[in-house]
Amino acid sequence: MSFALLFSGQGNQHPAMLPWIADDPIVRDMRARLGVKDWRAALADPGWAERNDNAQTLLTGLELAAWNQLAPLVAPPAAIAGYSVGELAAFSAAGVLAPDSTIELAQRRAQAMDECAASAPGGLLAVTSLSISAVERLRAATGLALAIRNGEDSVILGGPMAALVQAERMVLLEGAQCTRLRVNVASHTPWMREAADSFARTLENASFHAPRVALFSNAADRIRDASAGRNALAAQIATTVRWDECMENVMARHIRCVLEIGPGQALARMWNQRCPTVPARACDDFRSPAAIAAWLSSHADR
């Protein structure tokens, strides 16, 4: 069985996500850390759901629990990558971090980013159908940074709110599309440098191991040892997420299918657009772990 796991980032969380997930010890730990009895009810409140600290802790815990419940039914993956905060769950799934420490790190990561954002408020803007040269002109005019690179005509820009408003107007005048993301920090941009430095100090005291499978980072390509893992997880907070390169690195492992773990289908859609010969599905599409395992087996065992 040759398949890859992609762990989602924040922004698409919703009350009905992962309908099959059970209330296992990982979920209970996550709920306790968030101080909620019913995480689905909590997600129904947009104000709660969009808070950075809630979202990062919730998604990390649920993604870890989802993989923990699915893993006994399938063979080990051939490659793993995570998108933005999804890297924490990806590193844990690859054996680099223990689940309980990973959820704690998600809390510490969000705390560092929120403290940084308090003095440098910002956000993110997804831009599609704009040429590379037009994106560079937009960045030069607004001062925004390239936060995430999904493809040649699909990027996410980050920076101060006023600059984002200016960029929205310019994108629409160019005839392209843009969407303000449901986050309140300028993730993966230089405005998060203090947060990256703070998280790096936190990671110095965390127990890291070499990955058991091929693990690809947003900021440092393949992760081969504990030291590289620490550096990559801290660096990506304030540097561009090179998701297009992550997808190419995963594809190079000659996998037969891809499973997205997390809310929504954003990563699966991006994968299918870029690599249509290798099918991708999202855990959110299924009603049970058995159904997911059956789909993986039908493709990965060929």
pTM for this model (two decimals): 0.95
**Nearby residues of 250 by Cβ (< 8 Å), 6 or more positions away:** 4, 6, 79, 81, 216, 258
Statement: residue 302 has pLDDT above 80: no
pLDDT in tens, 193-215: 999 999 999 999 999 999 999 99
Q: List the structure tokens of 69.
A: 């419940």
DSSP state, 284?
A: G
Say how far residue 14 (Cα) sits from the centre of its chain: 15
CA dihedral 286, 241, 51, 231 (to 10 degrees): 110
Statement: residue 1 has pLDDT above 90: no
The CATH-assigned architecture of domain 3-118+189-300 is 3-Layer(aba) Sandwich (3.40)
pLDDT in tens, 110-152: 999 999 999 888 999 999 999 999 999 999 999 999 999 999 8
Question: Which residue bears the tokens 């409140």?
Answer: 45
Question: Domain-by-domain residue ranges, the chain?
Answer: 3-118+189-300, 122-180
Residue 50 to residues 12, 54, 120: CA-CA distances in angstroms?
10, 7, 18
- CATH code, 122-180: 3.30.70.250
